[in-house]
A and B are shown apart, each in its own frame.
Chain A
């Protein structure tokens, strides 16, 4: 028998017994729906982070700060007496302690050197907080106070328009600027002049003229920010120093070697923490949330697996009944020259179609609920909360196909025992008229 005819016949056979097949199909539907939701949620989390990562891709950058909690804790431990001793209040120990704590919050050159020695670390750049008074856009008098962030070469921002700033005279702004009345479209911002105004060390206003080289696409959050090239932030920070002061960085950017895997990144984080730093890392958040997402997905998938496993007994049972009910037809087909192998395939394929319909209906239900109910609701929910990139269920077509093929394959396997009995049926016995 041609495979095409075999498929047609198997499908017809299933359709003729649709009421008997309904129960295992329904249980597979439950499994497939759960499985599809699990996948949709898993890929949803992933795509959410891909969106954010695409907006600000800097997996090679970590931020470190001193970790005063561990430092003071240990010092305190050392000075701890069994019974607290009396100290003269005139020594003003409290004030000393506060100064010490403040110093603990700064990164010294030794700290930076220590950080640079951690394996996989390529470069450590101290980050200086700059105090912007306001900025003005070319052509308007309006003064704005957006946040500022240093821009490193190893960052890859997802640009909406223009390009990433490559020299000190250029900056990148976030999408929020596009919403300004005078702007209109991201293209209009590119090439526009911008004046950065800050107070210098002598207490006078100082200005820096820069050009907007590009607009960064909004990520999960779309606050108004200016990405200022690192060199320029250093220049401004130096200008803001008062007489006798020196640069006192509180945080530093750590650039990692390229192409590290998550385990190596984890090791760097651990090493930095062990050296006495607090590690602020966007990639870590992503890793953590992705892991939580993965566990959730796995839990749902495991539930789906149990449901599907139970459903397979239903498939096997239904197929057993099918073979029993059709024993005459099996006898006839064998008498007409159908080989045992073809009979086997015919019944195993009928079982596979139970899997097929279970998967298709289940996916259809999960997809419809997500596309028409959950996703619009989630989008609204997140936008009410001021988040641009809402969590959405995502269904990659190749995985949807994999669910269908997978369910067909296991339903096929579940049908092999009944199908084998059909294949071995003796035509004479089967056709004996009673």
Chain B
């Protein structure tokens, strides 16, 4: 359950103020797939950063399962992101010279999981995304679709409440893109996570249970985008 109350984010408040998110109040169900849709510059990325605890709002509140992110310290935000959030990026952002296994294990290593836990969880996750045979391959040697599978595995290995997918198919051809979309939705159901897809792609947005359309930092009707 994600809720925002009068959420506002203004960049450069002193010199050239630019309001990326303007008084947004939202209430999103947990366990669903939600699309944040909007054109470039609509504020959809800013909204995602705020919801993920990567950025702090200028005013307003964000509640993720009842806890207010705006009131959290840096350290608490680090823990929150590590335990409750997963990320899938358009450009993958993998450690290119590390193996598939190490890439998926990274969030678990950051949270100091035991070697045994890491072994079982990563193995299970690699099986789910169909990369068991690539376990010891450096990610630089993988294809785009395989790379995105690795990042999906990395996003879900911590069993997060929310997974943010920022244009997850933007760097892939349409066929591979569809594969990744299907994998993403399947994983969301299997792991009962909330998935928030940030996209400008209306087709992808429409596959989600719910759509939040943004224009100039405000929520609008999805047909206006």
* 23 interchain pairs, CB-CB under 8 A: A1-B109, A1-B110, A1-B112, A9-B109, A12-B97, A328-B93, A332-B89, A333-B110, A335-B52, A335-B81, A336-B82, A336-B87, A336-B110, A337-B111, A338-B110, A339-B74, A339-B75, A339-B78, A340-B74, A428-B55, A431-B93, A433-B89, A433-B90
Q: CA A334 – CA B82 in complex, angstroms?
A: 9
A19, chain B: closest CB distance, angstroms:
13
Asked whether B220 is an interface residue with its Cβ less than 8 Å from the other chain, the reply is no
Asked whether A16 is an interface residue with its Cβ less than 8 Å from the other chain, the reply is yes
Asked whether A329 is an interface residue with its Cβ less than 8 Å from the other chain, the reply is yes
- A2-B109, A337-B111, A431-B93 known; 13 new pairs, CB 8 Å cut-off, are A1-B112, A328-B91, A332-B87, A335-B54, A335-B81, A336-B81, A336-B82, A338-B78, A339-B74, A339-B78, A428-B55, A433-B89, A433-B91
The contact string, 1 if C-beta is below 8 Å from chain A, for chain B 104-141, is 00110111100000000000000000000000000000
Asked whether A191 is an interface residue with its Cβ less than 8 Å from the other chain, the reply is no
Asked whether B29 is an interface residue with its Cβ less than 8 Å from the other chain, the reply is no
Is the beta-carbon distance between A329 and B110 smaller than 8 angstroms? no
Q: CA A338 – CA B81 in complex, angstroms?
A: 9
Asked whether B222 is an interface residue with its Cβ less than 8 Å from the other chain, the reply is no
Is the beta-carbon distance between A337 and B98 smaller than 8 angstroms? no
- What 7 A-B pairs come out closest when comparing CB atoms? A337-B82, A16-B97, A337-B81, A332-B93, A337-B78, A336-B107, A5-B109
User: A: which residues have CB within 8 A of B?
Assistant: 1-2, 5, 9, 12, 16, 328-329, 331-340, 342, 427-428, 431, 433
Is the beta-carbon distance between A428 and B82 smaller than 8 angstroms? no
Q: CA A337 – CA B111 in complex, angstroms?
A: 8
CB nearest to A16 among chain B residues: B97
Contacting residues of chain B (24-57) with chain A, CB-CB under 8 angstroms: 49, 52, 54-55
What residues on A are CB-neighbors of B75 within 8 Å?
Answer: 339
B54 touches which one: A9, A340, A427 (CB < 8 A)? A427
Q: CA A12 – CA B103 in complex, angstroms?
A: 13
B126, chain A: closest CB distance, angstroms:
18
B93, chain A: closest CB distance, angstroms:
4
A170, chain B: closest CB distance, angstroms:
69
Q: CA A433 – CA B88 in complex, angstroms?
A: 13
B68, chain A: closest CB distance, angstroms:
18
Q: Which of A335, A339, A431 has the most CB of B within 10 A?
A: A335
CB nearest to B91 among chain A residues: A433
Asked whether B59 is an interface residue with its Cβ less than 8 Å from the other chain, the reply is no
